[in-house]
Structure 1
Amino acid sequence: MEETQKIKLGISIGDFNGIGCEVALKTFEDARMLDFCTPVIFASNKIISQQKNDLSIDINFHGVRDASQVVEGKINIVNVWKENPRIEYGQATKEGGDFAIRSLRAAVSALKENKIDVLVTAPINKNNIQSEDFKFPGHTDFFAQELQGESLMFMVTNNLRVGLLTDHIAVKDVAKAITPKLIRNKVTTMEKSLKMDFGIRKPKIALLGINPHSGDNGTIGEEDDKIMKPTIQELFAKGTLVYGPYSADSFFGSGTHENFDAVLAAYHDQGLIPFKTLSFGKGVNYTAGLNRVRTSPDHGTAYEIAGKGKADEGSFKEAVFMALQVFKNRMEYLELTKNPLQKQKIRKGGQKVDS
């Protein structure tokens, strides 16, 4: 991408019966957003027109047949389909799921072909997306297959960053899924992302225990003592600043998380409940560890308010800004690592300092 070009930001619309289109269009209703990037929405002119009219959103858009034809300074709509599917706000329909996946697949193809630079995904319904051609529990698993690298579900807002050892699996399967290899892979992926994507020179990472009170020395379970502790010690001995396992029940409430650059939770709700409580709807779901940048808002389809114009675009807007910042950080990181003798400027604590 040339210096003078704005970053091309792709958007998959998610379930059009939910709030995905609404929060995306509201984000770019503010014309100043076009100063930061060139939005490329994968849908159809008809769908976007109907959503715009139904929700009284004041935007103009430019329809194109292919992402290679986008125009800078405009909201671009790539016409992925010619059909005119019925929008049923608040309903989880098969049609809504089918078109959500068509939008997603088109956006990912454009991302892989470098027609867009980054991707922000609007919320999908994990039930109505399932088909013979799409059998993934969510976005993260799909991206792990389609893009190169070791994926990590990473929830981020300001200075709070929470990643997951295991994400969309049943609680009954968590303990057996956590192995030394998994811990090593996720910690390594998190450390690399913190350096490359967030500009943190020597990141400190905390791991939360699997069992209550991290097993209480084996009284409540042996996984923390036999799997987590030895692996953490092994990683630390090799130079990774990783600590734990910490008892999850008091970790966030006591403010201990503020001593670390990121936290790695053992399972989905252990990490996301405190994250969403503390982030107040401004959080971003970032798929770290892959060769392309993908973010999404930290909320779902919100069928209960869909079509009513009540959706808050705050998290989606944060997802846009994070995608742009991570992309720029990566470009800077790659440039610096290509020139190791160059006097480097490393971002530390949000500020640039001479190393």
Structure 2
Amino acid sequence: MTKKITKSSKSLPKVGISIGDINGIGSEIILKTFEDERMLEFCTPVIFAHTKMLSFLKRHFKLNLKFQGVKSSEKIIEGKINVVNSWKNNPKIEFGQEHKAAGVFAIKSLRSATNALKAGHVDVLVTAPIHKNSIQADDFKFPGHTDFLEQELGGNALMFMVSDPIKVGLLTDHVPVKDISKHITPDRIKQKINTVKNSLKQDYQIDVPKIAVLGINPHTGDNGVIGKEDDDIIRPTLSEINKTEPYVFGPYAADSFFGSKNYKNFDAIVAAYHDQGLIPFKTLSFGHGVNFTAGLNYIRTSPDHGTGFDIAGQGKADPSSFTKAVFEAIKINNNRTEYKQLTKNPLKVK
């Protein structure tokens, strides 16, 4: 149990929670997190699922907790684990099975939670893992949470993997390797670095953040021998950024950057693509890291792992990363509120 966030006499933040793939470990890690009654000292959880389904899962995993069914997110009860019924019929759970039907309920939960966030009924959103193939439908053609939430919540979404030892943002996230270089443009580089900088300042209270940028090719291209993208795109763009932002450095060769522990000298690292950033991040932080979608007008976090089909239903799932995601959302919400207060112009123009 983290001790970084202290209980306040004010109304506790309301944490909206989407259930994820019902055949995965999402429900298990959610229930295990809130089985610890101390969690209710820090937030009011609001789970978007169905009381019958969660009652079945509570019995299945032999967990000791109570939750309160509410008709809508407008009827949230503080001090209770709230469950908003997001569908009518109780679904059949087939642990560990990839199935389109499971994806339908995952999206029902996500849409309900997102609508509650936009309506101001919950303060932050924490999402359990979804399966990217199962969620594909005529009315949902997104590769994951990030793209959907950018459309729904506004802003410039950035996958920002955060933990105590390291923070990694991505220039591209769920993009095939063969297409990566097509997506990395000067405008995208500037936008993503700006999002990382702003997040470090408002969400993590780092006044002058130091940011490292990794190259695209091995050895950052070796002067064009192993690709020209670093020389033609990355370096000129960083030189332009450095005219106004002197604390952005790179490009660095990714292999030696992490092996030499150079990452410890920076507040955040911007990786060119998914595995370049997430392999070292998960090596250093797996189970204790959080996926934070920076750059949105609202706060969303999730655990740093997937649906866990291989252990679903067995009671083996570790809730640590999900618990961390809840606390990270609360912390970011507090920091962002404080930042807005500190940067508010006291001299209002009439």
Match of 2:307 among 298, 301, 310: 301
1:304 and 1:164, CA in 2 relative to 1: closer, same or farther beyond 3 A? Answer: same
Match of 1:95 among 84, 92, 101: 101
Q: What letter is aligned with 1:279?
A: S
Residue 278 of structure 2 is matched in structure 1 by: 272
Residue 52 of structure 1 is matched in structure 2 by: 58
SS in 1 for 2:259: coil
SS in 1 for 2:213: strand
CA deviations 1:141-191 (Å, max 9, x no partner) are 111111111110000001410000000010000011100000000000110
1:240 and 1:28, CA in 2 relative to 1: closer, same or farther beyond 3 A? Answer: farther
Q: How many residues align?
A: 340
CA deviations 1:29-82 (Å, max 9, x no partner) are 000000000000000111111111111111100000101101111100001111
| Inter-partner Cα distance in structure 1 for 2:9 and 2:75 | 19
Match of 1:179 among 185, 207, 210: 185
Match of 1:310 among 306, 309, 316: 316
| Inter-partner Cα distance in structure 1 for 2:79 and 2:103 | 31
| Inter-partner Cα distance in structure 2 for 1:317 and 1:97 | 23
SS in 2 for 1:6: coil
| Inter-partner Cα distance in structure 1 for 2:269 and 2:95 | 37
CA deviations 1:101-149 (Å, max 9, x no partner) are 0000000000000000000000000001000000000001111111111
Match of 2:174 among 165, 168, 177: 168
CA deviations 1:179-211 (Å, max 9, x no partner) are 000000000011000000000000000000000
Question: Deviation of residue 250 (structure 1)?
Answer: 1.3
Residue 347 of structure 1 is matched in structure 2 by: none
Give TM-score scaled by structure 2 length: 0.96
Q: Does 1:63 align with 2:58?
A: no
Match of 1:331 among 329, 337, 340: 337
| Inter-partner Cα distance in structure 2 for 1:34 and 1:282 | 21
Q: What letter is aligned with 1:246?
A: Y
Q: What letter is aligned with 2:324?
A: E
Residues 1-355 of structure 1 aligned to structure 2 (within 5 Å):
4-339=10-345
SS in 2 for 1:305: coil
Question: Deviation of residue 339 (structure 1)?
Answer: 4.8
| Inter-partner Cα distance in structure 1 for 2:246 and 2:180 | 24
Q: Residues 286 and 304 of structure 2 are in contact (CA less than 8 Å); yes or no, is this contact kept in structure 1?
A: no
| Inter-partner Cα distance in structure 2 for 1:240 and 1:14 | 41
SS in 2 for 1:285: strand
| Inter-partner Cα distance in structure 2 for 1:261 and 1:304 | 35
Question: Deviation of residue 340 (structure 1)?
Answer: 6.2
Q: What letter is aligned with 2:205?
A: G
1:340 and 1:265, CA in 2 relative to 1: closer, same or farther beyond 3 A? Answer: farther
| Inter-partner Cα distance in structure 2 for 1:104 and 1:14 | 8
Q: Residues 10 and 42 of structure 1 are in contact (CA less than 8 Å); yes or no, is this contact kept in structure 2?
A: yes
SS in 1 for 2:300: strand
Structure 1 or 2: larger strand share? Answer: 1
| Inter-partner Cα distance in structure 1 for 2:299 and 2:126 | 9
How much identity, in percent, do the aligned residues show? 61
SS in 1 for 2:242: helix
Q: Residues 65 and 80 of structure 1 are in contact (CA less than 8 Å); yes or no, is this contact kept in structure 2?
A: no
| Inter-partner Cα distance in structure 1 for 2:197 and 2:286 | 26
Unmatched runs of 5 consecutive residues or more in structure 2 = 1-7
| Inter-partner Cα distance in structure 1 for 2:134 and 2:245 | 45
Which stretch has the larger CA shift, 45-54 or 325-334? 45-54
SS in 2 for 1:304: coil
Q: Residues 159 and 261 of structure 1 are in contact (CA less than 8 Å); yes or no, is this contact kept in structure 2?
A: no
Q: CA RMSD in A?
A: 1.2
Q: Residues 156 and 195 of structure 2 are in contact (CA less than 8 Å); yes or no, is this contact kept in structure 1?
A: yes
| Runs of 4+ in structure 1 over 2 Å off | none
| Inter-partner Cα distance in structure 2 for 1:136 and 1:309 | 30
Unmatched runs of 5 consecutive residues or more in structure 1 = 342-355
| Inter-partner Cα distance in structure 1 for 2:79 and 2:147 | 33
Question: Deviation of residue 335 (structure 1)?
Answer: 0.4
| Inter-partner Cα distance in structure 2 for 1:66 and 1:37 | 18
Residue 4 of structure 2 is matched in structure 1 by: none
